[in-house]
A and B are shown apart, each in its own frame.
Chain A
């Protein structure tokens, strides 16, 4: 990519002998909002810490804005980080928390006051400037942490699980807040999350990580509609995932013929529950469980293929537990996976 801003080259990160991230390559453009998405232990936080400079890579290179920063110490990188726990300085007021980095930079007097006041105001906490962090709610603390990082005009802003400690209403607010900050300042943002919904809602691009490597990189639409591996498929809601062997579906005890030939290159196929057609089709299943979820009704079927999850419009007639149903896994709807494992 010609307009790469932040580049990770064959980055390997380890804690002692335990390798957390192996040979990671990643390019991020200026002004992009990127999500590092994955389950805990996938190496996403470790990757973020190494970008910040809090963890030295075992090998590999980090380039930012054309300069190799691999061995630049964390306090000279000008990369901001909003910690999951916010990490505000408990002995300082909101004002002094936000002023902390600017003072170290040598900003003083009216200049300092103007920047700090504007920073606090931009996150809507103007009337809280004299409070200590302990007197603020979690959401307010997070906004202070955001302002504290943003007044430094960082080259990259990192956010560790920025929404996971907030309740549903605050989450929406914070999402909007982050989008506003990005739009107004054009800062390059990378946030770490284990929640695919957050990643899909907020990011320009999603990096799905698993076991210390990248599983898939793509726009939210690509990740959501075209998962490349069984893991990503399952992660974004394709709950019926099958490996393909010789063009047949591999179940735990047999190979099942499909109604039409599967795509040549595919190693697996995945269906969302709502793609499963109930009531007609070549397969038979027994309803093991059913639950009502507002617009839809969810079914869990015991089938020769293994358990199948299906979802149909709640207006459709319901099927009782124990009843036997015909169903179909339409090939046209399936997401072809280029990697099964």
Chain B
């Protein structure tokens, strides 16, 4: 076969591999039957509607949202100054700092979760919600630093000096001329961080307790006891939520410029 035929074939297979499951989930969620199955047995919206009636999903969805929004905001509060310092000053050990900040992406989540549980929660009785919050903040931090750094590196640093010479303080210059120009990068980092945190499983798996569960963990637990299409319906809803967020971001921010 020539590359001319081969490459669309490979691309097609890849797309089926990546997106195929999504369609299976959607189809399964629209089933009228009682068990999770593909192809679906009949068509109905009953499982989609049922998702909204399950209390534990509602609680864990709230927890996931709280972690995703709170953890990402915390990561940005830490990450923006870090990115600023890394891009504007010649720091000793800047490479090391960059590496350390990136570690949560490199180290498997299982290890992070286990370590937090074994050395923070178990010996000190550390509040598990707080541990989850720290873990998610740390997981999102690399994205915050990297994406914001990218925008900062594209921004001339002499505009800050110009602002200072026009009477602004250094801090004022940051808020008046730096922040407005990296706003797109910050929003991009927020969305990436939000999605990363929201979809996080391995770390959260270890840091769950009575009444404290993120949505993905709750879904795993639900599936162990109840094998009905509501889990597919919830997955489909979450997938649409993600698509919606990314679509809006692309539409209003040109998201792909930053990632």
Chain A residues in the interface with B (C-beta under 8 A):
52-54, 74-81, 83, 85, 87-91, 100-101, 104-105, 145, 148-149, 152
Contact = CB atoms under 8 A, between A and B. Distances in A.
Given A100-B166, A105-B167, A90 B181 contact: yes
Contact of A87 (B156, B176, B180): B156
B66 interface: no
B183 to A, nearest CB: 8
Contact of B181 (A53, A83, A91): A91
A89 B162 contact: yes
Contact of B166 (A85, A91, A148): A148
Given A89-B177, A91-B180, A91-B181, A101 B167 contact: yes
Contacts of A88: 159, 162
B165 A81 contact: yes
A80 B167 contact: no
A85 B158 contact: yes
B34 interface: no
A81 B165 CA distance: 7
Contact of B156 (A79, A85, A148): A85
Task: List 7 A-B pairs, minimum CB-CB distance, nearest first.
Answer: A101-B166, A87-B162, A104-B167, A87-B158, A91-B180, A87-B159, A75-B164
A100 B165 contact: no
B161 interface: yes
B35 interface: no
B44 interface: no
Contact of A81 (B155, B162, B169, B172): B162
Contacts of A76: 167
A269 B137 CA distance: 72
Given A52-B165, A87-B161, A101-B166, 17 more contacts: A54-B164, A75-B165, A75-B166, A75-B167, A79-B165, A81-B162, A81-B165, A83-B161, A83-B162, A88-B162, A89-B177, A90-B159, A91-B181, A100-B176, A104-B172, A148-B162, A148-B166
B163 interface: yes
A79 B172 CA distance: 18
Interface in B157-216: 158-159, 161-169, 172, 176-177, 180-181
A74 B165 contact: yes
B233 to A, nearest CB: 43
A75 B159 contact: no
28 contacts: A53-B165, A54-B161, A74-B161, A74-B164, A74-B165, A75-B164, A75-B166, A75-B167, A75-B168, A75-B169, A80-B165, A81-B162, A85-B158, A87-B158, A87-B159, A87-B161, A88-B162, A89-B163, A90-B155, A91-B177, A100-B176, A101-B167, A104-B166, A104-B167, A104-B168, A145-B162, A149-B165, A152-B166
Interface string B141-160: 00000000000000110110
Interface in B63-88: none
B163 to A, nearest CB: 7
Contacts of B168: 75, 104
A54 B172 CA distance: 16
A74 to B, nearest CB: 5
Which of B158, B164, B167 gathers the greatest number of chain A CB atoms within 10 Å?
Answer: B167
Interface string B217-244: 0000000000000000000000000000
A53 B168 CA distance: 13
Contacts of B180: 91
Nearest to B161: A54
Contacts of B163: 89, 100
Nearest to A160: B158
A83 B164 CA distance: 13
Nearest to B179: A91
A89 B180 CA distance: 10
A81 B180 CA distance: 22
A242 B168 CA distance: 52
Contacts of B156: 85, 87
Nearest to A49: B161
- Which of B165, B172, B176 is packed against the most chain A CB atoms within 10 Å? B165
Nearest to A104: B167
B158 A83 contact: yes
Nearest to A52: B165
Contacts of A90: 155, 159, 181
Contacts of A145: 162
Contacts of B166: 75, 100-101, 104, 148-149, 152
Contacts of B165: 52-54, 74-75, 77, 79-81, 149
B242 to A, nearest CB: 29
Contacts of B158: 83, 85, 87
A54 B161 CA distance: 7
Contacts of B181: 89-91
Nearest to B177: A89
Interface in B113-162: 155-156, 158-159, 161-162
Contacts of B159: 87-90
Nearest to A105: B167
A120 B159 CA distance: 19
A104 to B, nearest CB: 4
